[in-house]
Amino acid sequence: MDLRNHFRSLHEQRSREEAKHHFQRLVDGAYDLALLVHDEDVLPLGAEQP
């Protein structure tokens, strides 16, 4: 394996790790938001305000 291929594979591995990390943060954020909405007992979108 030459140096260029070595660095390319390192970069691809790092990109995958970062993508996985960002996706996990997105999932965690969506979960937190769902808990918050559930806790606040907000009205569904489009519902009439009392």
Determine the average pLDDT of the residues in 17-41. 87
Model pLDDT, residue 46: 62
Query: In angstroms, what is the C-alpha Rg of the chain?
Result: 21
Evaluate if pTM is beyond 0.75.
no
Which tokens hold the place of 10?
Answer: 């390192």
Residues 39 and 4: their CA atoms lie apart, in Å, by 52
Q: Which residue has the higher pLDDT, 32 or 43?
A: 32
Determine the average pLDDT of the residues in 2-22. 92
pLDDT over 70 percentage in the chain: 74
